A = this chain, B = another copy of it.
Amino acid sequence: MSLTTPLRGVVPPVCTPLDSRGEVDTASLARLVEHLVDGGVHGLFALGSTSEVAYLTDEQRATALRTVVEATAGRVPVLAGVIDTTTARVIHHAEAAAGLGADALVATAPFYTRTHPEEIAGHFRKLRATVDLPLFAYDIPVAVHSKLSAALVRELAEDGTLAGLKDSSGDEGGLRRLLVELGGRGGRGVGPAPGFSVLTGSELTVDAALLAGADGVVPGIGNVDPAGYVRLYEATLTGDWTLAAQEQERLVELFGMVDVGPEADMGRSSSALGSFKAALQLLGVIECGATAFPQIPLSAGAVAEVGRHLRAAGLSPVR
């Protein structure tokens, strides 16, 4: 499905189910896609941070993306993360993603190396010029340790390099400034970059981002409860901000599951992604809740706590 612009709505970053040997469980992944599309989502983001893309080999990335594209079967657009340290390596992934049928690409600034706004601009421009797919910038300082400035994003939006931004920076004030510069609530679609899409990755403040004029959301915990985010999004379309906020509050409570793994024992990725996958297993969507090595598995007690979070949010574990 080709991307209509600007991309709007709920676009979950699809988890990558793994089997007990650590390989991509394509049957579970296809079921997860069905779970998400059934939930009413407006797009899928494969190979994002939540997919454990940083843990997947090139072959595993290809398997995951191919499975998502095939299972989606054009019902919604599929965005593909092309996550690597610098331009030449990212282009390699971008060409692979294009070959596998991705509808758009999502790339971060260079990482590992010490970079600069001029270099980041060159990076995005070269990517766009080399692989002919709409390109989203992925602003995720917690992973790449630099922040895309509003000025840089705006420049690349206005000159057509970027089709959109996935903002996982957590800098809601900065995002608001960018949205206002792009035309604000009224002016999006007619402002200086009319087709440009702003998606927030801040899944706890989606009502707020949509009130501010963002186009959509990429919620990690949307893997678990896609229909909840769709209800939230739809409430905002009708201007029912109170309903949107109530739905957001329920999702905030559900999100509490990311802390089930003790910080003394494991990294925040192990705990958060582990809880999402445990929830999907408990809900019967995927077969096995394992995260990729060397992440630390959740204990049985932690998984039980995930189950309590599900029930408290009105979701029904089947295991």
Contacts and interface: CB of A to CB of B under 8 A. Distances in A.
Contacts of A122: 293-294, 296
A60 interface: yes
A166 to B, nearest CB: 15
A92 B116 CA distance: 29
A252 interface: yes
A266 B121 CA distance: 12
A266 to B, nearest CB: 5
A226 interface: no
A265 interface: yes
A284 interface: no
Contact of A57 (B88, B126, B252, B253): B88
A260 interface: no
Q: Which of A55, A60, A208 neighbours the largest number of chain B CB atoms within 10 Å of its CB?
A: A208
A114 interface: yes
A106 B89 CA distance: 20
Interface stretch (A32-40, A189-197, A241-249, A299-307): A241-249
A239 B112 CA distance: 38
A311 interface: no
A112 B56 CA distance: 13
A185 B246 contact: yes
Interface stretch (A5-13, A71-79, A172-180): A172-180
Interface in A76-112: 83, 85-89, 92, 110-112
Interface in A149-197: 170-173, 176-177, 180, 184-185
A266 B119 contact: yes
Contact of A126 (B184, B270, B294): B294
User: How many protomers of this protein does the assembly include?
Assistant: 4
A186 to B, nearest CB: 8
Contacts of A185: 242, 245-246, 249
Contacts of A25: none
Contacts of A249: 180, 184-185
Contact of A212 (B119, B245, B294): B245
Contacts of A131: none
A184 B184 CA distance: 28
Nearest to A143: B112
7 A-B pairs with the lowest CB-CB distances in the bound complex, closest first: A208-B208, A116-B267, A122-B294, A54-B85, A173-B204, A241-B241, A54-B112
Interface of A: 22, 49, 54-58, 60, 83, 85-89, 92, 110-116, 118-120, 122-123, 126, 142-145, 170-173, 176-177, 180, 184-185, 202-205, 207-209, 211-213, 239, 241-242, 245-246, 248-249, 252-253, 255-256, 264-270, 292-296
Given A57-B88, A173-B202, 13 more contacts: A54-B86, A60-B88, A86-B292, A88-B292, A114-B142, A114-B269, A116-B265, A120-B294, A126-B294, A177-B252, A177-B255, A207-B208, A264-B264
